[in-house]
Structure 1
């Protein structure tokens, strides 16, 4: 049986906030991943079971391999409907902030979200939450925000009536944020949750295929190109990094999501502790998106914080640099040297 993640007072406060609100919005961070989209879809389904009709707003485009999830057609993209979304955010009664710890992670939505008079509830698993809320539900040890969404549904007594529309996105979010349950997923409760989700007759094998076996030919060729031509392997320090320039992305017909998971592949090298991806933004000059992955107790979140203006979890983090790709490579090399002792231990 799952332990409650919030006390009874907080649980009642959550119920009250929902019951007294008419206009409810669920939002997530920019460049939404599986956990962010899964949490928005899953929690919105919980709100529907509580008699509400929430709106779902995401800052920008999410990967093509998540388009199949139930109810994605109801998601509104802020970058496509800015004026209407601004009005809605300013006049909402309640906003659920899902899978981010600070409003700056919502990109261009930041200002209007932060200034909205609506009461806010944060549901997140990142460190150091910094959002002005009526209620903060933050558990950095959780595998994913979708895990927290499940736990809340369970504690609120909603799960019994839940359907695939809840179970599929929640499972998808948990799966993607743990790399197919290969990191940050040793808590036995995770597999109890999976077992419960399976009672809703979801096809977990198909969910896996829809996410990980749903790429274009160009993406597969990009993967081979990156590993053969672009990866730099530091055997002495058990680290690897690679770059993706705007020219590389154009050559391989890049679309949103094509770089997803590439940073995990070097981890298949025996003994590798740290993998770093450096990707040029497709539109803005001198903007580099950084992804980091590590194994065991090596803290890639510390590397992200110290060198890449980012953060995240012990084994999965991200950041960004406002510089050229060449300068980003130099910073990456400095970061590897700075953590040399931990990498070699």
Structure 2
């Protein structure tokens, strides 16, 4: 199976950029998820295998506990914790990789370091409409994840034979998390060819699953039950649902980053349900609501997110935000569900 992504010229150019680089920085987006962390760690490990000694992974802020077991995670630089070290590292960079984001604004406070740097830049992403000035742009919205793209690039550049678990494990983890354990956006045969190849590197896919999905606190389980029993609003006539998480709810259940991961998928288990929306109050910024949307079949989450929630994303998985009270956010969601009803 041919899984190459780059033209011959692009492959030559990327190899040259890597060969000539002395200090490489890999960036990912705010509130990094499994795909962001997995693609960053996988790419970093690959570059180190190529003999690149100075490779740094920089993220704006905290990533969930259930991702901190991955090889190389201890060396990730968080800007909110190590600003001076990040600024020094970025100032010395001559090559930057922008992974799993289509616009520098998604990196929050890190954005100026990317846009103002004179370093060469490479974008690898699977979100729509990339808007970053780079030397090489690998943008494939049809891909299941940025990790898929990273694997295919490493494969094309001849790095598969020397690939070890430090590369393979994060890549598999990112593909798995961005598809809900390969339950959505994962029908293309290329995905399972890649999985078959990663398995030859000795990864334990069952343990990776447990590390991510069976690694929560008891408070996360209590939060799940609370949300499904008391906070879920179901509109059977519109095949849609939504739930809210207020600051008070989060405080009561000792919320830590990652505890709400995957909750938005659960209402889709209801027979006939096509759309699920989560509204979560920011724990620090007043009147800020984070919106997550999930759907099945051809309901366009991304279009709803763009039209109502200042966001975007993929067909069946999207996100956005609202600057208002929770009561106002619920009014907007109700309007969106009724006016953007399932066709």
The alpha-carbon deviation at position 324 of structure 1 amounts to 1.1
Runs in 1 of length 4+ with deviation above 4 angstroms? none
Normalized against structure 2, the TM-score is what?
A: 0.98
Q: CA RMSD in A?
A: 0.8
Query: Corresponding residue for 1:142?
Result: 143
Residue 239 (1) aligns with residue 240 (2): yes
Match of 2:209 in 1: 208
User: Contact conserved, 2:3 with 2:190, CA < 8 A, in 1?
Assistant: no
* Structure 1 residue ranges without an equivalent (≥5): none
Corresponding residue pairs, total? 342
Once the two structures are superposed, residues 62-109 of structure 1 have per-residue CA deviations (whole angstroms, 9 ceiling, x without a partner) of 000001001101111011111221232233101100000000000111
Give TM-score scaled by structure 1 length.
0.98
The unaligned stretches of length 5 or more in structure 2 are: none
Whether 2:40 is the aligned partner of 1:40: answer yes
- Partners of 2:111 and 2:3 lie apart in 1 by 34
Write the distance in 2 (CA, Å) between the matches of 1:3 and 1:338. Answer: 41
Report how far residue 307 of structure 1 moved.
0.6
Give me the whole-angstrom Cα distance separating, in 2, the residues matched to 1:67 and 1:112: 25
Note the C-alpha offset of 1:110.
1.3
Equivalence for 2:63: 62
Partner of 1:23: 23
Once the two structures are superposed, the pairs formed by residues 157-196 of structure 1 within 5 Å of their partners are 157-196=158-197
Q: What is the alpha-carbon distance in structure 2 between the residues aligned to residue 289 and residue 31 of structure 1? A: 12
2:165–2:201: 8 Å Cα contact kept in structure 1? yes
CA distance in structure 1 between the partners assigned to 2:73 and 2:335 by the alignment: 41
Contact 1:90 1:117 in 2 (8 A): no
Q: Distance in 1 between matches of 2:200 and 2:89?
A: 36
The corresponding residue for 2:264 is 263
| 1:130-158 alpha-carbon deviations (Å, 9 max, x no partner) | 00101101000000000001001110110
Distance in 2 between the 1:285 and 1:112 partners? 27
Any idea what SS the aligned residue of 2:338 has?
Answer: helix
Query: Offset at 1:326?
Result: 1.1
- SS of residue paired to 1:279: strand
User: Could you report, residue by residue, the CA deviation over 1:145-192 in whole angstroms, capped at 9, with x for unpaired residues?
Assistant: 000010011101101111110111000000000000000000011001
